[in-house]
Amino acid sequence: MRYRLLGRSGLRVSELCLGTMTFGETWGWGASFEESQKMFELFANDGGNFIDTSVNYTDGTSEEYVGRLIHSNRDYFVVASKYSLTKPNSTDPNSGNSRKNMMKSVETSLRRLNTDHLDLLYLHMWDYMTPVEEVVRGMDDLVRQGKVNYLAVSDTPDWIVAEANTLANFHGWSPFIGYQIPYSLLDRAVERAILPAARHWGMAVLPWGILEAGILTGKFLEKVSEPTRLKPAELQLSERAMKVIHELKQVADEAGRLMSQTAINWVRQRPDLQMIPILGARSEAQLQDQLEVLDWQLSPEHIQRLDAASAIDMGFPHDFLLGNRYLYGSTFDKIDDRHW
């Protein structure tokens, strides 16, 4: 395992992050404490120090497990948690991004994790109700109180993130240094605006859903023989998806690697971005397979083939602006150090 500076910060995190949404069986699927411990120890023994959880994961079991697992060596691990979400049947109107929920959630996370601080706090999802200033100021207060070291954002529109970081810069508040988003060969929509925003602000990108709930492992090419969270309708894959999966299988076979490993490395090797994939597994064996991505890289030819198979229509303004001769005349191809 190698280490990276997280965005524009001095925080050093492992090049892979261990996602713990599978820690706990409260939601009817996931891993027992014993299996979670095996995954945690496997990750740590490979040099992993970056752990991702949330106040709502498995109704709190995830944070409780993580707290037990990091307790003997708390300072070594970089622990990230999130606030915003609640139980679907909650009757409390004050969930979401409000300062009230923020403060309550952080105190809950600290208690479950048995720690006095979070290394990284994410806003989990944008609620379209809370003023951006309330969020940024509230999160900065947590940093000043010493309860949180760094801030990040997840599953939020790029224009909200831009406003938040602008406010932070103007007022001297703590900015978002990481951007957690869904990203995979089957879902490249974030390339239209969110990835360019992350690049512009120097934010690390922390992709989840890399294997699309197991679809990109190839197990759905044949009859599904193990439990899955996907509904039958979701297994009726589109023509584009099947094209991507078959190309992925061919590339994986040529590389002598698993389809899952190939899909993860395609994300890891995205150019001009700091990509730190969040691994999600329900067993030690699954995580072991995923960690083997550290041993190799895709060739440029294989990346090009996967790019072509999974390409999306970027639409306006990308297609309108890129290389527009009315902007650059005939010199576009002669300009070095372009930002895109």
Closest Cα partner for 177 from 202, 141, 160?
Answer: 202
* Catalytic entry in 3, 57, 122, 128: 57
Residue found by looking up tokens 């040099």 in the block: 47
Kindly write down the DSSP assignment for every residue of 241-278, as one continuous string: HHHHHHHHHHHHHHHTS-HHHHHHHHHHT-TTS-B--E
State residue 273 phi and psi, 5-degree precision.
Answer: -140, 150
Q: Is 57 a catalytic residue?
A: yes
Compute the distance between CA of residue 75 and CA of residue 79 in angstroms, rounded to an integer.
9
Query: Cα(185)–Cα(163) distance, rounded to whole angstroms?
Result: 29
Structure tokens at 103: 């403060």
What residue spans of 273-317 are helical by DSSP H?
284-291, 300-310
Report in angstroms the alpha-carbon separations of 61 from 55, 199, 296.
Answer: 9, 34, 34
Q: Which amino acid, residue 188?
A: R
Nearest to 198 by CA among 7, 3, 4, 2: 7
Measured distance between the N- and C-terminal CA atoms of the chain, rounded to whole angstroms: 29
Torsion-angle region of 323 (φ positive above 0: left; ψ -120 to 50: alpha; else: beta): left
CA distance 121 to 325: 44
For residue 131 the two structure tokens come to: 């003023």
Structure tokens at 312: 């999306």
Cα–Cα distance measured from residue 183 to residue 205, given in angstroms and rounded to the nearest whole number = 10
The number of residues in the chain equals 340
List active site positions: 57
